[in-house]
Homo-oligomer: A and B are copies of this chain.
Amino acid sequence: MLGADALVKTLADCGVTLCLGNPGTSEMHLVAALDREPRVRPVLCLFEGVATGAADGYARIAGKPAMTLLHLGPGFLNGGAYLHDARRAFSPVINVVGDHATTHAHLDAPLASDVEGLVKPLAGWLDAARTSAESGPKAAAAYAGSLGPPGCNAFLLLPADAAWSEGGETSKPQAAPARRAPSDVDAVANAVRAAKKPAVLLNGDALYAEHLEHAARLQAAGVVVFLDTFATRQSRGAGRFAPMRLPYFAEQALAALEGVDLLVTAGTKHPVAFFAYPGKPGELTPENAKRMSLGGPEISSAAAVAALADALDAPRQGFALAAPFAPEAPKGALSPETIATSLARHMPEGAIVADDSVTAGMSLYPMTAGAAQHDWLFHTGGAIGQGMPMAVGAALAAQEMKSDRRVLALCGDGAAAYTLQALWTAAREKLDITFVVFANKAYRILLVELFRTGAGNPGPASNAMLTLSNPTMEWTHLAQGFGVPAMRCETAEDFDRRFARAIAQPGPMLIEAIV
């Protein structure tokens, strides 16, 4: 068989069921191979950043990698920002990057670039299948490689002639690599017993619904449980244990950690400020606190927390769980707070929230702690614009799992403008996504940061660089342009009513919230 078929069939044998891509001439045989492999669903994205962001969102819900199909260096570059975010989410993604035929490489044709050099900084696994015979075995290796641990971006470069030549053979799936066991559980347990105010900071599967009980046990044993500011996925809502999210702004994070004399990490590392500020510390662990680690993202934090809870003989009941919170319908002017209230009221059971709401969203997370149970996907790597693509990927995973989980994409207008092409894929694939765009007409976070960094008050250039009015983006037009029905809300009552209706309808819908 052709190398392209060996690659696609091997990935399908490994369990890959989704290909997100935007192919070009050098990937034509891969596209044709997808025609011959019905187990892999092809989903076109109008811009590669949608494909990669969706692959991240898909992995966070499906728990397995999708493949992306990218066209040489420029295809990778267009998708690179959200592979950065995926890397910070430890999401497994298999990026198949087409390249010129090996016989063509030395000619330095217009599209040629150093693909290997470009992808390397984002790669957890990287190889090229330079012949059709290599494409099967390297596909199997890429699948295993994407799983890490921790999950990572695997890049498999495929020259066009390796794809189009005969001599390919499928390769057997490799066993999934084992996760490392947690370290130093007994020593940590001893330190916890000795500490006045012990705390743990979590990321990873300890935050998933089926494992939250272990963290609740720690809290019941007197350990303060935090989660990373931008964790990968957190199951939350009424009746679930709710660790405390470490605040974004460094001074608030320092305040939250005040008095902690032991900070243990599991599935993550010790916390640092998102950005540096003149004269402010970058490390957030209190200076006098002892630092210990059960392991980073390469372990199962759920297993680590369970082991620690057992070692501490922590209680098995009597946990403090999030109380249901069903506020009254909000009234008056629309604001992030009234939107948060509507979310708390109408969160669909089992919803998946893709959060790219930046400043507008600061009240969304706390206000929904007691809403119906849902999963929250965080913006892990700071490359804004991830929200809409991540929602697309999560919804594709939900569709594949035949669950009827509703996805909520919560996006600042500045963020949404990066990747609005995701709307088209949502319409095409009939995805159950409610997009909420917070139209505050500024990179509001940067107006805050201009002040916080001490750069000064905004002058004409700063205003030109940080505000989004003149012209105002009209999100109802933009959504309709990509085939997604849309409406615009200017009052709290209006939003509350329309949001409730939108989430009950199949398919995508966008609400522009004027805040």
| Contact present for B81 and A74 (CB under 8 Å) | yes
Interface with B: A112-120, A306-314, A361-369, which one?
A: A112-120
- Compute how far the CA of A496 lies from the CA of B46 in the bound complex, rounded to whole angstroms: 29
- The verdict on A28 contacting chain B, using a C-beta distance below 8 Å, is yes
Interface residues in A23-55 by Cβ distance below 8 A to B read 23-26, 28-29, 31-32, 34-37, 40, 42-44, 46-47, 49
For A29, the chain B residues whose CB sits under 8 A away are 453, 455
- How far does the Cβ of A84 sit from chain B's closest Cβ, in whole Å? 5
Copies of this chain, tallied across the complex? 2
A435 at the B interface (CB under 8 A): no
Q: List 6 interface pairs A-B (beta carbons < 8 Å), by A numbering.
A: A28-B450, A77-B84, A80-B118, A101-B276, A111-B274, A471-B482
Bound CA span A24–B465, Å: 10
A40–B46 Cα distance when bound, in Å, is 34
Instruction: List residues of chain B with CB within 8 A of the CB of A449.
Output: 24-25, 28
Chain B residues within 8 Å of A278, by CB: 161, 164
Contact with B along A342-379 (1 / 0, CB 8 A): 00000000000000000000000000000000000000
A35 near B272: Cβ-Cβ < 8 Å:
no
The answer to whether B478 touches A481, judged by C-beta atoms less than 8 angstroms apart, is: yes
**Distance to closest chain B CB from A296 (angstroms):** 11
Within 8 A of B (CB), among A426-481: 427-428, 445-446, 449-450, 453-456, 458-462, 464-466, 468, 470-478, 480-481
Q: How far is the CA of A427 from the CA of B421 in the complex (A)?
A: 20
Residue of B42, B111, B164 touching A453 (CB-CB under 8 A): B164
Which B-chain residue is minimally distant from A102 (CB atoms)?
A: B276
Is A389 part of the binding interface, using a Cβ–Cβ cutoff of 8 Å? no
Chain B residues with CB under 8 Å of A480's CB are 474, 477
Do B110 and A121 touch (CB < 8 A)?
A: no
Which of chain B's residues have a CB closer than 8 A to the CB of A418?
Answer: 46-47, 78, 421
Bound-complex Cα distance A40 to B81 (A): 28
Give Cα distance in the complex from A306 to B86, angstroms.
54
Interface residues in A253-292 (C-beta closer than 8 Å to B): 269, 272-276, 278, 282-283
Contact B111 A121 (CB under 8 A): no
A108 interfacial by beta-carbon distance below 8 Å: yes
Indicate whether A103 reaches chain B with its CB closer than 8 angstroms: yes
Say yes or no for A66: interface residue by CB 8 A criterion.
no
Contact A32 B481 (CB under 8 A): no
How many whole Å from A75's CB to the nearest CB in chain B?
A: 8
A483 at the interface (CB under 8 A from B): yes
Q: Tell me if B417 and A46 are in contact (CB < 8 A).
A: yes
CA distance A458 to B120 in the complex (A): 33
A230 interface contact, C-beta 8 A = yes
**How far does the alpha carbon of A471 sit from the alpha carbon of B507 in the complex, in Å?**
13
Say which residue of B23, B230, B414, B481 sits within 8 Å of A475 (CB atoms). Answer: B481
Return the chain B residue nearest A284 by Cβ: B107
Q: Residue A149 at the B interface, CB < 8 A? A: no
A397 at the interface (CB under 8 A from B): no
Are the CB atoms of A35 and B460 closer together than 8 Å? yes
A31 and B455 within 8 A (CB): yes
Which single member of B25, B122, B385 contacts A113 (CB below 8 Å)?
B122
Chain B residues within an 8 Å CB radius of A175: none
What does the 1/0 interface line of A75-89 toward B look like (CB < 8 Å)?
101101100110010
| In the bound complex, CA of A468 to CA of B81 (Å) | 24
Which residues of chain B are near A101, meaning CB under 8 Å? Answer: 276, 282
Q: Is A276's CB under 8 angstroms from B103's CB? A: yes
Q: Which residue of B lies closest to A109 (CB)?
A: B272
Given contacts A382-B74, A465-B21, A483 and B478 within 8 Å (CB-CB): no
Beta-carbon nearest neighbor of A275 in chain B = B25
State in angstroms the CA–CA spacing of A189 and B275 once bound together: 61
Residues in chain B near residue A473, CB distance under 8 A: 424, 481-483
B84 close to A113 (CB less than 8 A): yes
- Of the candidates B26, B74, B81, which one forms a contact with A275 in the assembled complex, judged by CB atoms under 8 Å apart? B26
Those of A395-423 within 8 Å (CB) of chain B: 414, 417-418, 420-421
| A391 CA to B80 CA, complexed, in Å | 24
Tell whether, in the assembled complex, residue B454 and residue A164 are in contact, meaning their CB atoms are under 8 Å apart. Answer: yes
Is A383 located at the chain interface by the 8 A CB criterion? yes
B80 touches A275 (CB 8 A): no
B74 touches A84 (CB 8 A): yes
Residue of B nearest to A23 (CB): B465
In the complex, which residues of chain B have a beta carbon less than 8 angstroms from the beta carbon of A498? none
